[in-house]
Amino acid sequence: MATTLIYCASGNRRFAEIAIAAGFKYGAQLPGTVYPDRLWFADQDWKKPNRERYMAEMAKYRPVMASVLDLEREAQLPEVLSWAEEAAQYIECVMIIPKAHGIIERLPHRIGGACVVLGYSVPTRYAGTEVATWEFAGWPVHLLGGSPHAQMRLAHYMNVVSADGNMANLMATRYCQFWTPGDARYASNRWWPTLRAANGGVMLDVPDLPYIAFERSCKNIIQAWHALFILWSGGCGVR
């Protein structure tokens, strides 16, 4: 099956509209300013969880999928399952994020009528899941964050049904860089060339450069995942 790609960021309508037009679903951290009103994926500040407020926001937006409290220690399992049971009232898929070794085998595949998807935080220099990828075997997996190419590498080893991120947003707004599948040999960073490098070293004399860079990233990411899917499926739609 194809992988659902999610642009996950609140507070900027234009970035959300660009991503959706390219083929992304929309996700946001709750509570937050949501554009558009239809939310496909919901996440929260895992460092400062607020169960009551988070559940109220899910009841309001009723996304397709949402994460719950991170499962960082074995002792948290009853609490995490309690969160999942409550969240299942409002969503189709509950995402449990296992960060403790050996805990996945104790998780249910359905809870409260909702399917369970496992979240895998893509390792970066700041954070990431330390649980081995083989522990996720046999489970549908959602990739949280990381670069597009890091996510695609992981998709070779896991049943990745969805992936979210906003790195393309960050690179566009800070540096006017856009993502390519590693083939930008004209640039110092072949994954993230600048608009200037792509234009032969001359800066484009147009407004809204970050939006242009972001739009290029979105289109390239969608195309790269599509090519990966075709490679896996042989064109028949079966992975």
What average pLDDT does the segment 109-127 reach? Answer: 90
pTM: 0.92
Tokens of 216: 């290029």
- Within 8 A by CB and 6+ apart from 193, the residues are 177, 178, 180, 184, 186, 187
**pLDDT band at residue 202 using 50, 70 and 90 as cut-offs:** confident
Query: If you average pLDDT over residues 195-216, what whole number do you get?
Result: 91
What is the pLDDT at residue 238?
A: 33
- Of 232 and 50, more confident: 50
Residue 41, beta-bridge partner list: 27, 65
Beta strand 4-8 with 25-29 is parallel
| pLDDT tens, position by position, 190-201 | 999 999 999 988
Considering the chain, what is the average pLDDT of its residues?
Answer: 91
Residue 5 is encoded by which pair of tokens? 């790609």
The strand pair at 4-8 and 159-165 is best described as parallel
Tell me how far apart the alpha carbons of residues 152 and 188 are, in angstroms, rounded to a whole number: 22
| CATH 3.20.20.60, the chain: domain bounds | 1-165
pLDDT for residue 152 is more than 80:
yes
CATH for 1-165 (1.10.1530.10, 1.10.3720.10, 3.40.605.10, 3.20.20.60): 3.20.20.60
37: which residues sit within 8 A by CB, 6+ positions away?
A: 61
pLDDT(233) > 50: no
